[in-house]
Amino acid sequence: MAKCKACGVELRPGARFCDMCGTKVERICPHCGGVLRDQAKYCDLCGIKLPLEQKIARPKVRGMVAAGRLHTVALREDGTVVATGDNQFGQCDVETWSDIVTIAAGKYHTVGVRKDGTVVAAGDRTYGQCQVEDWTDVVAVAAGDSHTIALRTDGTVIAAGRNSSGKCSLDDWKDIVAVAAGMDHSLGLRQDGTVVAAGEGLFGSCAVNNWQNIKAIAAGHIHTIGLRQDGRIVEADGFAAPGVLDWTDVAAVSVRPFPTVAVKTDGTVIASGDIQYGQCEVEDWQSIVAVTAGERHTVALTTDGKLLATGDNAAGQCSVEDWILWEDK
């Protein structure tokens, strides 16, 4: 019989807490509710074979880029971060960050995950979206307009910020491998290729229950994009860009309020949506490994660690031509 980690007392079958010291029981059989030993492969009450505990590795990237409404943030290979563009709320004040392994940019805030699993944030704190100081064991983050969500190593998700329509009520999410955040909704990609959503489902942006074989997700203003294993796009309506369902050989996708931008497997880029600021003028880009869409601009990372940008540069959000995220020696 399993014992309490804290006091050593034997636990009753089905116990959620130790009846002697109150310590929460961590592992419960998903079939019968029995308490499980830490290394158990089968439940000793019902005999069911147990799924392996999910442990998500922290990303290992040479560099990455993220775009907010009017700012751009990039992660260098050495773990430092650089930013440009609108800094009204301090969302570009990232020059002191170090040991960062992944980043995300919201409307007016920026979030980074350190290699020890803790999280740092800068920018708008109006709704508590930057209150992430106590987070641990984080492997990935996503930043929306007024909220931040984080994926932990055990496949669970935590959130901070404005909880309108329940977009931060994610305590019951499990087996998640990737997250995304829109204006008023949150997305989680499960290990089995299905997707879960929470928050405002305006125009069907949370209608993802029937999605399968998904390998990546992206959240726009009030729409949702999924990338299937076969390189095709699926969408949950909202203000989705025209023509994206016809795209093929897609390797990665990014959305913001209006544009949808994707990297193809051959390193070229395609875009659809609002063209008012030139944010979709990407047809000449080549050798691209990642792309990110802001509200009025698009930024891409090349195979040699350099950045390309197009669109509105009124706040300097496209002034990235001198940035080099890594150098091959």
Residue 144 in any domain: the answer is yes
Domain that residue 151 falls in: 54-162
Both 95 and 111 in one domain: the answer is yes
Could you give the percent of the chain with pLDDT greater than 70?
86
Residues forming a β-bridge with 291: 300
**pLDDT for the residue 26:** 63
Contact 270, 264 (CB under 8 A): yes
For residue 187, name the pLDDT band (cuts at 50, 70, 90): very high
pLDDT (mean) for 157-172:
95
Both 42 and 67 in one domain: the answer is no
Q: Is the pLDDT of residue 29 over 90?
A: no
Interatomic CA distance for residues 63 and 58, integer angstroms: 14
For residue 158, name the pLDDT band (cuts at 50, 70, 90): very high
Look up the CATH number of the domain holding residue 61: 2.130.10.30
**pLDDT for the residue 320:** 98
Interatomic CA distance for residues 137 and 58, integer angstroms: 9
Both 112 and 13 in one domain: the answer is no
Both 68 and 138 in one domain: the answer is yes
**pLDDT for the residue 111:** 98
**pLDDT for the residue 71:** 98
Both 95 and 18 in one domain: the answer is no
Angle at 141 between CA 53 and CA 279, to 5 degrees: 135
Both 90 and 139 in one domain: the answer is yes
Interatomic CA distance for residues 258 and 247, integer angstroms: 17
pLDDT tens digit sequence for 43-99: 777 676 665 455 676 667 789 999 999 999 999 999 999 999 999 999 999 999 999
Both 29 and 104 in one domain: the answer is no
Residue 141 in any domain: the answer is yes
Q: Single out the residue in 142, 162, 182 at which a domain terminates.
A: 162
Mean pLDDT of the chain: 89
pLDDT (mean) for 130-151:
97
Both 88 and 109 in one domain: the answer is yes
* Count of structural domains, the chain: 2
| DSSP code of residue 104 | E
Q: Which of 200, 231, 226 lies closest to 212, judged by CA?
A: 226
